[in-house]
Amino acid sequence: MTEREPRDTENVESKERRSFMKKGALATGALALGLGSAGSASAQGQNVLVYTYDYHPNVQFRVIQSLEQSTTVRLLSRPGGGNVPEISQPDDYNAYIIRYLLGGGDGGQGQITTFVFGRDLSLNTGSTRSFSGDASVFSSTLNLLSTSIEGGGGGGGTTTTTTTQS
């Protein structure tokens, strides 16, 4: 009997999932240590990246705090070190911890915490935003999508557009 392709696909997906989980564990440790500082200004005209598994379009989220630059660089690098072709200078990016507000604006039915990345991105801590419904794969190695952010401050109408450049 011959082996079928799905087994090979499952093995690759399993490796990618482990890589993703390692990065998540590193980021969670950074969050637990309280690393980061307050953001400011707006995200207008910025390239915005989010993990594939944590992309929930048109769901409101709150900006919790920024991540320390060294943590951002580690999250945007290959597991074990090294850059991906799409991001030659990971230190050009800023990252923010965000928390989706599910079940209404107060998050009464649960919350998902993740990260948003952007080249020279600057967001206000405490502001609420949402990702647009348009997204494209930015880096399959890092499981990142490129998208835009909608809303401003307390849910206003500022829209951020994005252009994906490698």
In single-letter form, the type of residue at position 35 comes to L
**How far is it, in rounded angstroms, from Cα 84 to Cα 87?**
6
pLDDT at residue 111, as a whole number:
79
Dihedrals φ, ψ of 126, to 5°? Answer: 95, -15
Instruction: List the domain boundaries for the chain.
Output: 5-150
Q: At a CB cut-off of 8 Å and minimum separation 6, what does 140 contact?
A: none
**How far is it, in rounded angstroms, from Cα 83 to Cα 115?**
19
**How far is it, in rounded angstroms, from Cα 111 to Cα 103?**
9
Chain mean pLDDT for the chain? 72
pLDDT at residue 120, as a whole number:
77
128-155 pLDDT, tens digit per residue, is 999 988 899 999 999 999 999 987 655 4
* Banded pLDDT at 79 (limits 50, 70, 90): confident
- pLDDT for residue 99 is more than 50: yes
Average pLDDT over every residue of 69-89 = 91
**How far is it, in rounded angstroms, from Cα 101 to Cα 104?**
6
Nearest to 48 by CA among 136, 156, 140: 136
* Banded pLDDT at 104 (limits 50, 70, 90): low
Q: What is the pTM of this model?
A: 0.63
pLDDT at residue 77, as a whole number:
92
9-65 pLDDT, tens digit per residue, is 445 444 554 554 555 544 444 333 333 333 333 444 356 999 999 999 999 999 999
